Amino acid sequence: MFLPLNKLVDVPVHITDTDTGYALSGVHVILKNTTNLESFDCTTGSAGGCTLNNVPPGQYEYTIYKENYSEESGIIEISIDSTIEESLQELV
C-alpha cells in the first residue's frame, strides 16, 4: 500500500518466548532507517508489547534483544498496517 511520506505510523510490537509462548517483558526493539539512519525504539511491558510511535514509512533494519535470550534482526518495510511479532529463544 502506498503511504505518503509525511504520514507517520505507530507500529505495534509483540514478543513471546519461543518455548513457552508466554509474553516477554523487558525486550528492547530498535528500528533504524536504512536511508537516513533515523532510529526508533521501545521496550516491552508485562504483556510483551510496546509501540514504536511516529515512524515514517520506509525500509528499516530491526534488532530485538533481551538479556539471556537469542537476538533477532532483519529488514522490514514499514507501512500503514505494519506490526512486529517475534519470538525469542532463551539461552541455556
Give the length of the chain. 92
Residue 78 · residue 58 · CB < 8 Å: yes
Residue 38 · residue 32 · CB < 8 Å: yes
Residue with cell 507500529: 11
Angle at the Cα of 48 from the Cα atoms of 72 and 71, rounded to 5 degrees:
15
C-alpha cell at 3: 503511504
| 5-55 pLDDT tens trace | 569 999 999 999 999 999 999 999 999 999 999 999 999 999 999 999 999
CATH topology of domain 9-87: Immunoglobulin-like (2.60.40)
| Direct distance between the N- and C-terminal alpha carbons of the chain, in angstroms, rounded to an integer | 41
pLDDT at 4 exceeding the cut of 60: no
pLDDT at 82: 95
pLDDT at 3: 46
pLDDT at 92 exceeding the cut of 90: no
